[in-house]
């Protein structure tokens, strides 16, 4: 281990009050391995990984650890080695335990029950999945519980203050809120009905505002709010009600970030592009083709490509990220509309 890092980790080790599940390996080296593998802060290992792994294993025996090169004074963890070094095989219980620590001990509320539910649960969170579609929501929660994950479903109309209050009454603390619920409302400016306009704002903007108002009092320092916007909020997207409501969500997020920061609560915004979701399944094929033609990567994204970013923003790894807007759009919003010009000049 480099001497500089050894000094840094030894400083953390001297402050440690948790037992290590690796009794014959110096805590300093365990932390060094964890830092290089996961890029987590060393204190994260001390506070969660060691405690969680130690508690989850029946026999955290030192036989799982072997010397690799005594001349360098370092050790390796063969049971935890990256797949590229250990070949393809089924993860061990120890690997499973270590991988599920980024959100361990945290309660995360996710509206519009989506892929982020599974991603957060797999990282150790206790997830409350909410929606107005009760049957699929219950099925999702039941399926994840069958996999050993901590997920429960709660009915929630995000535009209803009473529903938010009911949810809050069932919670003691909330460490993460993902405002994912949304509706499209695809009418253009000249045709949009006032009722559709109001409904789009009720779900896409008022819903997140009510969620923040209601759950922020239950959030301790270190909590995180992730609002799910859209590339429509970065452009002159034709669906006026949807686009205006997502632009408004940007304003809400920008105000919430500095407002809640003194309490240790972060607020960030994720802007997905064309992602293959049930919402997009009913999109006009002409729109789909046109949108993807303007996407430099030339394909739709998947929920699996958005969920890891949401988990990152919920975790301590993003502890100094606040008020950010991050696109997941295959480069759609990056070219400012000039991709068509580039294609015309240099056809692909």
pLDDT in tens, 40-54: 344 443 444 444 444
Structure token digits, residue 48? 């969660």
Which residues touch 123 (CB under 8 Å, ≥6 apart)? 99, 100, 101, 102, 103, 104, 311, 315
> Going edge to edge, which strands form the sheet with 266-272?
151-155, 126-131, 107-110, 176-179, 224-228, 266-272, 325-328
Task: List, for residues 178-231, the tens digit of each pLDDT value.
Answer: 999 999 999 999 999 999 999 999 999 999 999 999 999 999 999 999 999 999
Please state, in angstroms and rounded to a whole number, the distance separating the CA atoms of residues 76 and 71. 13
Structure token digits, residue 197? 């306009």
Which residues touch 83 (CB under 8 Å, ≥6 apart)? none
Give pTM, 2 decimals: 0.72
Residue 282: predicted pLDDT: 81
**Burial class of 83 by CB neighbour count within 10 A (0 to 12, 13 to 18, 19+):** exposed
Low-confidence ranges of the chain (pLDDT < 50): 1-84, 86, 94-95, 97-98
Nearest Cα to 50, choosing from 63, 33, 66, 36? 33
CA torsion sign for 82, 101, 219, 320 is negative
Of residues 242, 274, 312, 332, which has the active-site annotation?
Answer: 242
Please state, in angstroms and rounded to a whole number, the distance separating the CA atoms of residues 173 and 183. 28
- Verify whether residue 242 is a known catalytic residue: yes
Query: Where does the chain show beta strands of DSSP type E?
Result: 66-69, 74-76, 107-110, 126-131, 151-155, 176-179, 224-228, 266-272, 325-328
Nearest Cα to 112, choosing from 184, 28, 26? 184
């Amino acid at each position: 281990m480099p001497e500089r890092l050894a000094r840094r980790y030894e400083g953390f080790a001297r402050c440690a009050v948790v037992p290590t599940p690796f009794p014959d390996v110096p805590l300093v080296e365990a932390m060094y391995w964890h830092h290089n593998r996961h890029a987590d802060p060393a204190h994260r290992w001390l506070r969660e990984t060691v405690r969680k792994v130690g508690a989850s294993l029946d026999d955290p025996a030192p036989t799982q650890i072997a010397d690799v090169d005594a001349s360098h004074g370092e050790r390796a963890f063969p049971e935890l080695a990256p797949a590229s070094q250990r070949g393809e095989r089924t993860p061990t219980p120890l690997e499973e335990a270590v991988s599920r620590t980024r959100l361990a001990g945290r309660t995360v509320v996710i509206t519009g029950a989506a892929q982020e539910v599974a991603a957060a649960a797999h990282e150790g969170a206790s997830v409350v999945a909410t929606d107005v579609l009760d049957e699929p929501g219950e099925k999702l929660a039941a399926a994840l519980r069958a996999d050993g994950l901590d997920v429960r479903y709660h009915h929630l109309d995000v535009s209803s203050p009473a529903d938010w209050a009911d949810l809050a009454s069932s919670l003691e603390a909330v460490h993460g809120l993902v405002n994912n619920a949304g509706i499209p409302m695809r009418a253009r400016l000249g045709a949009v009905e006032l009722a559709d306009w109001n409904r789009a704002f009720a779900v896409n903007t008022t819903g997140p505002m009510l969620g923040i108002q209601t759950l922020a009092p239950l959030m301790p320092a270190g909590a995180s709010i992730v609002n799910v916007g859209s590339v429509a909020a970065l452009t002159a997207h034709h669906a006026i009600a949807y686009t205006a409501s997502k632009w408004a969500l940007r304003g809400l997020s920008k105000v919430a970030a500095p407002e809640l920061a003194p309490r240790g609560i972060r607020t960030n915004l994720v802007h997905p592009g064309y992602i293959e979701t049930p919402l997009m399944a009913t999109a006009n094929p002409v729109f789909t083709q046109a949108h993807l033609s303007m996407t430099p990567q030339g394909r739709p994204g998947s929920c699996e490509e958005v969920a890891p970013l949401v988990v990152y923003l919920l975790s301590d790894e993003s502890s100094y990220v606040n008020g950010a807007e991050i696109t997941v759009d295959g480069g759609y919003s990056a070219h400012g509309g000039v991709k068509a010009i580039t294609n015309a000049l240099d056809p692909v």
